[in-house]
Amino acid sequence: MKKLLVTGGLGFIGSYFVDLALKRGFYVINVDKKTYAARTDVDFDGRDHYEFIEEDISTMTHIPPGVDYVVNFAAESHVDNSIHANEAFYNSNIGGVYNILELIRAKDETDRPILFHISTDEVYGTAHAGSFTEEDKLLPSNPYSATKAAAEQLIFGWRHTHGIKAIICRSCNNYGFGQYPEKLLAKTIEFLLNGKKMTVHGDGTYLREWIYAEDNCEGLLAVLEKGEEGQVYNISSGEEHSVMDAVRMVVEAMGMKEEDAVVHIPNRPGQDLRYSVDCSKARALGWAPKTTLKEYIPEYIRLYKEKLGIAE
Ligand SMILES: NC(=O)c1ccc[n+]([C@@H]2O[C@H](COP(=O)([O-])OP(=O)(O)OC[C@H]3O[C@@H](n4cnc5c(N)ncnc54)[C@H](O)[C@@H]3O)[C@@H](O)[C@H]2O)c1
């Protein structure tokens, strides 16, 4: 049985990953600091082959023996927050990765896990045309993506100099139940269900690629099981919608009119116009996403109503 030390496994994507990894027969040690973004509605305690450690990845002092992979989701993840106050981003997203690399380096070479690091399509910056491949250079545009790109550079340096084994996955924009309601779709559903108008930065025409968190995690596990050490893999869906179109899908699914549901606010500084990555390398491992945003939104709204105790 492979042993994974998953960091940030109480977060949005991490929680989908822990669930899937346990179902697939991995042993999971979940290390999470329980920030405001950690889910309080998931409970893996009591599941077989699962342990939880409440700890900050930037200050933890050891990695238990026998761990095959450190799967690093733990991060500050909300771009807006990174614009207003970025110390926590620096500490967790860069300092946390630095600490993990050093903890792996301190281990006996026979007991060194592979660092399986979760990065983002945002590290490439705006895709003016076409889609970025893994070979393209990193050109982050906001403090969040800058910390994610910096973490990747640490990993490359530690791998080259100290022989730390690593794989990096750069995922596109995830959606799904359990996301903290600062993120676009969770916020839209929560605001509209609470009778508030959703706020959209600028005109909302900037494009994102959308992937269901479970599809993303299936892709990550495909890379973990079949990918090559030392490689970078883009994980995406090819499903591109503007932010405004994604919000419109929710508004329409709720039977509302856009003018009653949306208010535009000044655009976010550093806004990227379009993210797009080519994920043929990951797809060559036999993985493909199964869900589309349009299909998932009614289910997303239903789950949200259930959470808020609103009758159908
Ligand atoms: N959400 C997306 O669309 C998306 C897209 C691409 C990549 N990513 C990356 O995926 C990862 C997970 O994103 P998410 O949206 O699930 O994030 P999230 O904010 O929902 O969850 C982050 C989790 O990490 C934990 N955490 C934060 N700092 C920590 C620290 N220093 N030590 C230990 N635990 C800590 C939090 O308590 C939380 O449970 C991040 O690395 C993010 O950069 C996210």
CATH number of residue 161's parent domain = 3.40.50.720
Quick one: average pLDDT of 59-85?
97
Specify the pLDDT at position 312. 75
Query: Atom 21 of ligand 1 has which residue's CA nearest to it?
Result: 11
69, 144, 300, 304: the catalytic one is 144
Q: Report residues whose beta carbon is within 6 angstroms of any ligand 1 atom.
A: 7-8, 10-14, 32-35, 37-38, 56-58, 73-77, 92, 96, 118, 120, 148, 171, 173-174, 180
301 located within any domain: no
Looking at every residue in the chain, the average pLDDT score rounds to: 97
Is residue 121 part of the annotated active site? The answer reads: yes
Quick one: average pLDDT of 162-189?
98
pLDDT in tens, 190-217: 999 999 999 999 999 999 999 999 999 9
pLDDT in tens, 100-136: 999 999 999 999 999 999 999 999 999 999 999 999 9
pLDDT in tens, 176-195: 999 999 999 999 999 999 99
32, 56, 76, 121: the catalytic one is 121
pLDDT-based confidence at residue 292 (cuts at 50, 70, 90): very high
Rounded Cα distance, 108 and 63, in Å: 11
**pLDDT at residue 311 tops 90:** no
pLDDT-based confidence at residue 47 (cuts at 50, 70, 90): very high
305 located within any domain: no
Pairing assessment for the beta strands 114-120 and 69-72 based on DSSP bridges: parallel
pLDDT-based confidence at residue 54 (cuts at 50, 70, 90): very high
16 located within any domain: yes
Q: Given CA atoms 297, 302, 305, 310 in this order, what sign does their dihedral have? A: positive
63 located within any domain: yes
Q: Given CA atoms 56, 97, 238, 276 in this order, what sign does their dihedral have? A: positive
* Residue 273 dihedral angles phi and psi, to the nearest 5°: -75, -30
Could you identify the atom of ligand 1 that is nearest to the CA of residue 119?
7
User: Count of domains in the chain?
Assistant: 1
229 located within any domain: yes
pLDDT in tens, 223-273: 999 999 999 999 999 999 999 999 999 999 999 999 999 999 999 999 999
84 located within any domain: yes
Give the domain extent around 76.
3-175+213-235
The contacts of residue 196 (CB under 8 Å, 6+ apart) are none
In the reported structure, the alpha carbon of residue 311 is separated from the centroid of ligand 1 by a whole-number distance in angstroms of 31
In the reported structure, the alpha carbon of residue 292 is separated from the centroid of ligand 1 by a whole-number distance in angstroms of 22
286 located within any domain: no
Is residue 260 part of the annotated active site? The answer reads: no
In the reported structure, the alpha carbon of residue 259 is separated from the centroid of ligand 1 by a whole-number distance in angstroms of 33
Tokens of 249: 């899908």
Specify the pLDDT at position 236. 98
246 located within any domain: no
